[in-house]
């Protein structure tokens, strides 16, 4: 845009009946300063969803698919195990639709997530971190069976990948229509994003390589060890290759049933592990060099995308998924070196004029 041109807006051309109608249609944004010369790198900014993460999509579809099927009754309590983003999305949906929500979550996840869910009206039941993701999962199952609640089953339900097939993938196809798209990079939490995208891209953009990533110190898919499952597809035990990692929202301590479709059907071309420290580092670079505030999971996807970009041929086009916002990580390592008070340089600037001074 010319420096003399004043930006204008025109509105969206419609009035929304509820906050739920604003889910999806998130923007694809070009990386201008960090991408190497000759390579176009883009990010799909899922924090533009109303509750600020990609999980708004599946939360909405889980509830509406259950309403259509008659398996969720008016006023029935919804319960789900979550690392945070699905719970926040469900809390938004349930608040708007009038369903009580109970979330089970390991106490290792960031406190801002549980506070956001409670702000939206949900009850949050914490489980011991030593029990990992399977612990919070089993607690949700127990509560559903005990009280007759609707269990959302984000890790197994077909409603998960279906919404990414119907929306996320269609948005990518439309945004890159008539243009190259050589790589799409994503991690996995439930596996819904990669599974849904693969269904469409394999058919309509077969030249696009789908890159899946997981934490380097928790290579569940990379281990080749099958997940033990209960009837219905839920995890029977914690996967033996799991280790705690800082990429919240990615890779629980089991391989989700939703992801299994992509594994079995060849829904990705390459599996690239990434260190949690790289996710933190690249999330900071995105914020400080591009003005894009994403979480550690987004930083991890972007780290993998940048690794591909560094050796890619001129003209290559890469898209990385950014699942959520950096504001969801204020109490995590992402912000551990971001001070609350003035540092030396800021204090020096403050003292450089005779105006109001602290202290």
Catalytic residues: 55, 297
User: Tokens at residue 300, please?
Assistant: 């991890």
Tell me the C-alpha distance between 82 and 31, whole Å: 31
Residue pair 22/57 in contact by the 8 Å Cβ criterion: no
Nearest Cα to Cα of residue 194 among 154, 160, 159, 231? 160
Question: At 186, which helix (H) or strand (E)?
Answer: strand 183-186
Tell me the C-alpha distance between 209 and 34, whole Å: 22
**CA geometry: angle 279, 284, 290, nearest 5 deg:** 115
By the 10 Å C-beta count (0-12 exposed, 13-18 middle, 19+ buried), 313 is classed as: exposed
Task: With H, G, I as helix, E, B as strand and everything else as coil, classify residue 87.
Answer: helix
Distances (CA, A) of 266 to 45, 185, 239: 26, 15, 21
The residue assigned the tokens 């839920």 is 234
User: Tokens at residue 129, please?
Assistant: 């971190």
Beta bridge partners of 42: 30, 319
């Amino acid at each position: 845009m010319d420096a003399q041109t004043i930006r204008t807006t025109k509105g969206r051309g419609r009035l929304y009946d509820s906050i739920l109608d604003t889910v999806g249609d998130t923007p694809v944004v070009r990386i201008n300063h960090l991408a190497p010369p000759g390579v176009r790198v883009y990010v799909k900014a899922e924090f533009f969803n109303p509750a600020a993460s990609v999980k708004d999509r599946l939360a909405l579809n889980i509830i509406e698919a259950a309403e259509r099927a008659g398996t969720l009754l008016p006023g029935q309590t919804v319960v789900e195990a979550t690392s945070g983003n699905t719970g926040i999305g469900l809390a938004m949906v349930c608040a708007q639709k009038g369903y009580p929500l109970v979330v089970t979550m390991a106490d290792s996840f960031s406190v801002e997530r549980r506070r956001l869910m409670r702000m939206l009206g949900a009850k949050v039941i914490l489980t011991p971190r030593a029990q990992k993701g399977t612990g919070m999962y089993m607690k949700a199952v127990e509560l559903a069976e005990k009280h007759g609640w609707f269990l959302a089953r984000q890790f197994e339900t077909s409603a998960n990948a279906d919404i990414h097939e119907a929306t996320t993938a269609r948005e990518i196809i439309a945004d890159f229509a008539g243009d190259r798209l050589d790589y799409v990079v994503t991690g996995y939490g439930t596996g819904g994003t990669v599974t849904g995208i693969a269904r469409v891209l394999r058919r309509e953009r077969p030249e696009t390589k789908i890159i899946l990533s997981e934490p380097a110190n928790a290579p569940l898919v990379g281990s080749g060890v099958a997940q033990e499952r209960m009837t219905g597809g839920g995890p029977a035990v914690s996967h033996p290759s799991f280790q705690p990692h800082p990429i919240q929202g990615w890779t629980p301590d089991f391989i989700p049933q939703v992801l299994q479709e992509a594994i079995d059907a060849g829904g990705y071309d390459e599996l690239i592990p990434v260190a949690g420290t790289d996710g933190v580092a690249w999330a900071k670079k995105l914020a400080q060099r591009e003005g894009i505030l994403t979480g550690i999971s987004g930083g991890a996807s972007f780290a993998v995308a940048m690794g591909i970009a560094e050796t890619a041929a001129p003209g290559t086009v890469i898209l990385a998924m950014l699942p959520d916002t950096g504001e969801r990580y204020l109490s995590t390592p992402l912000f551990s070196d971001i001070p609350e008070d003035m540092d030396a340089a800021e204090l020096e600037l403050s003292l450089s004029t005779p105006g109001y001074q602290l202290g």
